[in-house]
Amino acid sequence: MIGVIAKSDERDVVAEFFELFKTPWEFYLSGRTYEVLIYTATDFNIEPAKLVVIYGGQRLTTDSENQIDIAFQGGGNRILSYDGVKIPIYGDCVTFKGEKKGLLDQESQRPAIHIDHSGETRVARIGYDLFSEVRFLLTEGQPAANAATPTLDLHIGLLRDLIVTSTILLSEIPPVPDGYRFIACLTHDVDHPLLRQHKFDHTMFGFLYRATFGSALDVIRRRVPFRNLVANWTAALKLPFVHLGLAKDFWQQFDGYAKLEKGLRSTFFVIPFKGRPGRTESGSAPQIRASGYGAADIAECLSALSQEGCEIGLHGIDAWIDSSRGAEEIGEIRGLTGAEQIGSRMHWLYFRESSPRTLEEAGVDYDSTVGYNSTIGFRAGTSQAYKPLETVRLLELPLHIMDTALFFPGHLHLTPEKASKLVKTVVENAAKFGGVVTVNWHDRSIAPERLWGDFYVHLIDELKSEGAWIATAGDAVSWFRERRSASFENDTWKTSARGGKIASETGGQLPGLILRTYSIGKNPQDVLISSSMPELARPLLDSK
């Protein structure tokens, strides 16, 4: 059992941290015996435990008492290195004099960890405030320069290593569905489902330019194959016939995604109302943000998608900033689909720190907006779905990979080969730490002039080969809710599923939860503790 002695204003973030690092813990109770004690408070007496971990980015009273020499104390934006992997630190940080190994400051090569032994107690003094770092990641998020680093997952990994190397048996419920290595969600923001809705506007002229001159330049620069140029010029020539209704609208790609995904269930986020640009924090949003369609315009397509097992979510306009507008937007999607639980992703990824609470008040079940427009990676520092600190039930399913971030000029503007390498690092991190990879491939991205379908198929194959359970966003969130509902009580395992059937709120069945145990010198051992098939559930501990 881990006992935590934290600052009074850290209790919310401590609780969320241990939903992500799902292992037995509690806030410290006097008179209880703990194998591990974690301190982030500034004034405390060290209690006996097998391992004591003291976090703090400033000089502490215990440093002098224990003759720990501080080498550096300063502001944030330091980069630490642990086992060759960088860990950005955004708050205060201290380094120590001593042997240069373990957790090192990249600039000075000084250690940011000091380990000592006092009798049978191992004391690890770490030079940053863990829960302050976690709060920053879950509220403000990482700058794009550090997007590739799953910083929060690395904080969990460092603490896990400290516990295991202290010869303490550790049990946790990892963010790993039984039978898989991680979860993958294929999602689509539906911004422009029909080209014929755009006559002599910026969208139509932008398409013509990119399909003709832009496509020719890409071929000359060897960024795309010649066949793309042929397909795009052919589409440009067909444009008048599309507007006249004499040719198929090649931007209508719901059936195209069905062919590429081959029975996989994906999530489509649709804009509720036509012609509304919405608001920014300072006033009206640019008119260019207004959509040329509303969800009611594609109601038949949405019905067909639902019948195929796909999920329909809200591509919100004002829901991120106005809960009454958000309730109206949710109501429009709910009325068209008949689904009670609706998830959201904001159009143009508009978001602010208070948005999760606003969305929850509007009636949103989960959100999937937290990500980057300009790059890919881990804005919240994690591959897990998490509960924003100000919400009660709403979960955030972070966005990790977006097509426009990879390929648009002004963003990364990568070739498929370079994009593939970058995407691979995100997928490999999820395979290592568990969690979810959330992909956003826009509705028109497999159509002319983008033609990013081949890369999308390659990405799906990559996710499958790395062992992903490919689920709708709603089912992924339901699985994380099931994991969060599980709890340890003393030496007894308890779950709301009680070893019985676990079903998603959308009616599908979810993979089981596993219990993973670590002991030094041995490989982690997994035991299935709950399953959608009761005869497969093998509880390690007693069930209640």
The answer to whether 401 and 440 are in contact (CB under 8 A) is yes
- Count CA atoms closer than 13 A to 464's CA, side-chain side: 9
Taking the C-alpha atoms of residue 113 and residue 54, their distance in angstroms, rounded to an integer, is 10
Taking the C-alpha atoms of residue 17 and residue 387, their distance in angstroms, rounded to an integer, is 10
Q: What angle do CA 184, 451, 290 make, to 5 degrees?
A: 80
Which single residue is written with the structure tokens 């330019």? Answer: 209
Taking the C-alpha atoms of residue 283 and residue 285, their distance in angstroms, rounded to an integer, is 7
Per DSSP, 46 falls in state P
- For strand 513-518 and strand 170-172, is the pairing parallel, antiparallel, or unpaired? antiparallel
Q: What does the radius of gyration of the chain's CA atoms come to, in whole angstroms?
A: 25
Strand runs labelled E in 253-412: 267-270, 279-280, 283-284, 311-316, 343-346, 366-367, 395-396, 401-402
User: At 31, which amino acid appears?
Assistant: G
The answer to whether 473 and 366 are in contact (CB under 8 A) is yes
Q: Within the chain, which residues score under 50 in pLDDT?
A: 491-508, 533-544
Give 248's contacts (C-beta < 8 A, 6+ positions apart).
Answer: 242
The answer to whether 452 and 445 are in contact (CB under 8 A) is yes
Taking the C-alpha atoms of residue 525 and residue 518, their distance in angstroms, rounded to an integer, is 7
Helix (H) or strand (E) holding 325: helix 323-337
The answer to whether 456 and 470 are in contact (CB under 8 A) is no
The answer to whether 311 and 265 are in contact (CB under 8 A) is yes
453-458, Cβ contacts within 8 angstroms, sequence gap of 24 or more: 453/256, 453/260, 454/416, 455/403, 455/416, 455/419, 455/420, 456/260, 456/403, 457/260, 458/416, 458/420
Strand runs labelled E in 383-449: 395-396, 401-402, 436-440
Lookup: tokens for 113 = 């960890």
- For strand 267-270 and strand 182-190, is the pairing parallel, antiparallel, or unpaired? parallel
Is 479 in a helix, a strand, or coil? helix
Q: Which of 193, 189, 443, 187 is nearest to 294 (CA)?
A: 193
The answer to whether 447 and 251 are in contact (CB under 8 A) is yes
For 161-196, the DSSP string reads HHHHTTT--EEE--S--TTSSEEEEEEEEES-S-GG
9-17, Cβ contacts within 8 angstroms, sequence gap of 24 or more: 10/40, 10/131, 10/132, 10/135, 12/389, 13/131, 13/134, 13/135, 13/138, 13/389, 14/131, 16/134, 16/138, 16/386, 16/387, 16/389, 17/130, 17/131, 17/134, 17/156
Q: What region does 410 belong to: left with phi over 0, alpha with psi -120 to 50, or beta?
A: left
- Structure-derived torsion over alpha carbons of residues 343, 347, 348, 350, reported in degrees to the nearest 10: -70
According to the model, what pLDDT value does residue 76 have? 76
Taking the C-alpha atoms of residue 464 and residue 456, their distance in angstroms, rounded to an integer, is 12
Q: Check the CA dihedral 531-533-536-540 and report its sign.
A: positive
Taking the C-alpha atoms of residue 234 and residue 19, their distance in angstroms, rounded to an integer, is 52
Is 465 in a helix, a strand, or coil? helix
| CA 67 to centroid of chain Cα atoms | 41
Cis peptide bond upstream of 65, omega within 30: no
Taking the C-alpha atoms of residue 523 and residue 117, their distance in angstroms, rounded to an integer, is 26
Annotate 485-503 with b (16+ C-beta within 10 A) or e (fewer): ebebeeeebbbebebeebe
Taking the C-alpha atoms of residue 443 and residue 459, their distance in angstroms, rounded to an integer, is 16
According to the model, what pLDDT value does residue 531 have? 67
Taking the C-alpha atoms of residue 118 and residue 116, their distance in angstroms, rounded to an integer, is 7
According to the model, what pLDDT value does residue 46 have? 78
Helix (H) or strand (E) holding 255: helix 254-261
Lookup: tokens for 248 = 């198929």
Whole-model pTM above 0.85?
A: yes
